[in-house]
Amino acid sequence: MEYQEAFNDIRPYHDHEVNEAVNRLVKHPYFKMVTNRIFPDLSYEGLVDELSSISSIKEFQSVMMYPTAKRVLNNSAEEVSFSGFDRLTADKSYLFISNHRDIVLDSAILNVLLYEHEMDTTEVAIGNNLLVNNWIEDLVKLNKNFIVNRNIPPREMYSYSQTLSAYIRYTITQKNTSVWIAQREGRTKDGNDQTQQGLLKMIGLSGEKDFYDNYAPMRITPMAISYEYDPCDVLKARELHQKLSGQKVDKTPEDDLQSMIAGITGVKGRVHLALGKILDEKLQDIKQIKNKNDQMQALADLIDERIHKNYKLWPTNFVAYDMLHGEKFTDKYSQGEKNDFLDYLHRQVDSVKGNFEQLKEPLLTMYANPVVNKMKIEEAEL
């Protein structure tokens, strides 16, 4: 019990806490506003009645979160495809380490697909910077999110990292529940998906001294999510341009909320979610590396390789690459697809009253970099 109590500031709600939290949720004015927008054809009173009687996280996800996510995807994505789910078995848990494009949907799409494959959904790591009010905190804790505190003082960071690591390991190995976590803190702004060594070191803090015995039980599963159109692209490009121009970027909770809304409601085109091969056989090879930093970098490189290899490239990616680096992939898109993409980029920039010439290069770069990374993998395999 004491071990579990150490996680009280991190964990999602337990089943016995669900009913009280749901009742707080449905009484808040935000709930009616959100449900009217997402479910205009449903009876608000009927939905409240149905939710008020539930008593478990599984029921909440079935009644509220799965239908909500499906409605969002039906309204904003042309199609959602997937691969690699045949690598999973329903009686095992996994640590999904994923590239990170969208605050909400990267993990939500994984959970939708797990639900449809009749597998248990994951717990999801979410930064406390996104908990902009108590209503959102109730919502995410009801939806199996655990909290990663971004504001820990340096002198307390190691102790906090130990607790977070222990919670992730406890969830996977003792609760037999899978975990989704981004490969780095924050979303990738330039499309160059790279796993942070620090994340992998944190995960290993709670494990065995032996490298293989530490990481193998986590069943690390690299995940690549690929959006034909990144609904937050122009917001990321604007932030990247400000940084490159030497401007100070002070993000507020309202900025994070704007990004969450843009990601949920914005146009995505086609979306593909791919699960790479579970890390196991290569861990014995990495174990032989003597230098610990080199060992961690080899682990990060292996995850990146499987993410880049499984990333689904769309015409938007090839158009952006050719516009930046010269025509190489003209067989991958039509002139019409190129024109559609450029029209889309102009609309995105206009939506934030931006300067297209200033934002053009960071926009194209974030779409082109997945092509660059996949080319590196393919060249290395020759």
- Burial 97-113, CB ≥16 within 10 A → b, else e: bbbbbbbbbbbbbbbbb
Digit-coded pLDDT (tens) for 348-376 = 999 999 999 999 999 999 999 999 999 99
Phi, psi of 119 (to 5 degrees): -120, 155
Asked if pLDDT for residue 2 goes beyond 70, the answer is: no
Mean pLDDT, the chain, whole residue set: 93
Digit-coded pLDDT (tens) for 49-104 = 999 989 999 999 999 999 999 999 999 999 999 999 999 999 999 999 999 999 89
Residue 85 has a pLDDT of 98
Question: How far does Cα 188 stand from its chain's mean position?
Answer: 10
pTM of the model: 0.94
Q: Which fold has domain 80-228+266-311?
A: Glycerol-3-phosphate (1)-acyltransferase (3.40.1130)
Residue 260 pLDDT level (bands cut at 50, 70, 90):
confident
Assess contact for 54 and 19: CB atoms under 8 A.
yes
Digit-coded pLDDT (tens) for 316-354 = 999 999 999 999 999 999 999 999 999 999 999 999 999
The first and second tokens of residue 176, run together, are: 């037999």
Residue 1 pLDDT level (bands cut at 50, 70, 90):
very low
Residue 97 has a pLDDT of 98
Least confident of 11-15, 171-175, 188-192: 188-192
Residue 89 has a pLDDT of 97
Nearest to 126 by CA among 21, 16, 203, 12: 12
Residue 254 has a pLDDT of 66
Digit-coded pLDDT (tens) for 283-319 = 999 999 999 999 999 999 999 999 999 999 999 999 9
What are the residue boundaries of the structural domains of the chain, listed by start? 80-228+266-311, 232-265+313-382
Digit-coded pLDDT (tens) for 96-145 = 999 999 989 999 999 999 999 999 999 999 999 888 889 999 999 999 99
How would you classify residue 326: left for phi > 0, otherwise alpha for psi between -120 and 50, otherwise beta? left
Higher pLDDT, 2 or 266: 266
Assess contact for 201 and 48: CB atoms under 8 A.
no
Higher pLDDT, 211 or 264: 211
